[in-house]
Amino acid sequence: MNHYNPGRHIVSTFRAPASLLTDMEGCRAAFNEIISQQQLTKVGEVYHSFEQGGFTAVVCLTESHVSIHTWPEFGIATFDVFLSNFQQDNTAKAEAFFSAVIACFDGEEINTQKLNR
């Protein structure tokens, strides 16, 4: 019997400057750049800003998804990336995506879980 490892799922809460947690267009540009760098395929996206300045974003990928929700009034964001391993092992790409997002937001991890699905 062959064993299938569906992929790496990284879920994190991190602290970041409020100025970055309100920059939805900066996040969109960063996500697009990381998706391109990691040779991932975007199939849909939703970005929504809130009155207090925070935003939420979900980007669907053929490999699965990334999402972020920001609370600038508390200086935190929640983020997750799941990249499936259907055609290849994407573990390194999931790790690279996560590291790039933390760097982009000048983030300080509060809690991170790395799950092998």
- Structural domain includes residue 80: yes
Summarised one tens digit per residue, pLDDT across range 1-45 is 567 778 999 999 999 999 999 999 999 999 999 999 999 999 999
Domains: count for the chain: 1
Q: Specify the DSSP class assigned to residue 63.
A: T
Residue 91 burial by Cβ neighbours in a 10 Å radius (0-12, 13-18, 19+): middle
Other CB atoms within 10 A of residue 48 CB: 11
pLDDT in the model for residue 88: 87
Enclosing domain of residue 47: 7-116
Long-range (24+ apart) CB contacts under 8 A made by 92-95 are 93/38, 93/39, 93/40, 93/63, 94/7, 94/8, 94/9, 94/10, 95/8, 95/10
Q: What CATH number should be reported for the domain holding residue 108?
A: 3.60.90.10
In a domain, 66, yes or no: yes
Question: Does some domain include residue 1?
Answer: no
pLDDT at 87: 80
pTM (two decimals)? 0.94
**Is residue 2, in this structure, part of any structural domain at all?**
no
Structure tokens at 48: 């929504």
